Amino acid sequence: MIRAVQSDLDETSRHVGRDRLSPHVLEAMRRVPRHEFVPEDLKPHAYENRPLPIGYGQTISQPYIVALMTELLDLKPDDTVLEIGTGSGYQAAVLAECAREVYSIEIIPELAETAQSRLLRLGYRNVTVKTGDGYFGWEERAPFDAIIVTAAATHIPPPLVHQLKPGGTMVIPVGPPFMVQHLTLVKKTEDGKVSTRQLLPVAFVPLIGGKRTP
């Protein structure tokens, strides 16, 4: 799996500005047992470099995308991270290997509950999952050093920009649902200015939920 991830990175390095995974991301990808995060009948495919269905019309992301998004966040061991779209909990586990605290929001209650108990069973005590609409972030736990959105948004949610620390980084797929989106890197400078950079085309399941104000 790691070799396939590196091979994808070789192909996309000129778009994403990285040609190697940092040692801590590589180690996290090696440590997290992906077979624990997929349905029983798909376990033989757990270490293939592709997304897999996890029920409720949702997917566990492709390992390459998980590794790349984690890499782009430039996490430090003391960081607090917000994830939108817990799904299986796999990305949250990879983040938990690289940061101090991970907060993750999932809109489908059954997925949120399963992911939280799975993460606890696997020993991830630094991940807290809640059911909710991640578009609005997690105000009580903000601000965050890094934010990762693992579902496609039509625009960058203003509450998430607000909840990002000065100096912080967000990675988010932006574009129309069920079509190609752009993986977008959002940086907030120390004086609060926000810059965005589109890195590469991706295809994520859509961010769902209620009222949205761009």
Amino acid in position 163: Q
Q: How far is the CB of 193 from ligand SAM (least distance, A)?
A: 27
Q: How far is the CB of 174 from ligand SAM (least distance, A)?
A: 14
Q: How far is the CB of 157 from ligand SAM (least distance, A)?
A: 9
Binding footprint of ligand SAM on the chain (CB under 6 A): 58-61, 84-85, 87-88, 90-91, 105-108, 111, 133-135, 150-151, 204-205, 207-209
Instruction: Classify residue 149 by burial, with Cβ atoms within 10 Å: 0-12, 13-18, 19+.
Output: buried
> In angstroms, rounded to a whole number, what is the distance separating the alpha carbons of residues 134 and 58?
16
> In angstroms, rounded to a whole number, what is the distance separating the alpha carbons of residues 129 and 133?
12
If one counts every other C-beta atom within 10 angstroms of the C-beta of residue 148, the result is: 26
Q: How far is the CB of 122 from ligand SAM (least distance, A)?
A: 13
Residue nearer to ligand SAM on the CB measure, 109 or 166: 109
Within 11-126, strands assigned E span 52-55, 58-60, 80-84, 101-106
If one counts every other C-beta atom within 10 angstroms of the C-beta of residue 84, the result is: 27
Catalytic residue among 7, 22, 61, 104: 61
> What does the block give as tokens for 53?
């269905």
Residue nearer to ligand SAM on the CB measure, 90 or 144: 90
Amino acid in position 114: T
Q: What are phi and psi of 149, to 5 degrees?
A: -110, 120
Residue nearer to ligand SAM on the CB measure, 21 or 107: 107
88 is catalytic: no
Residue nearer to ligand SAM on the CB measure, 64 or 135: 135
> In angstroms, rounded to a whole number, what is the distance separating the alpha carbons of residues 191 and 204?
32
Catalytically active residues are 61
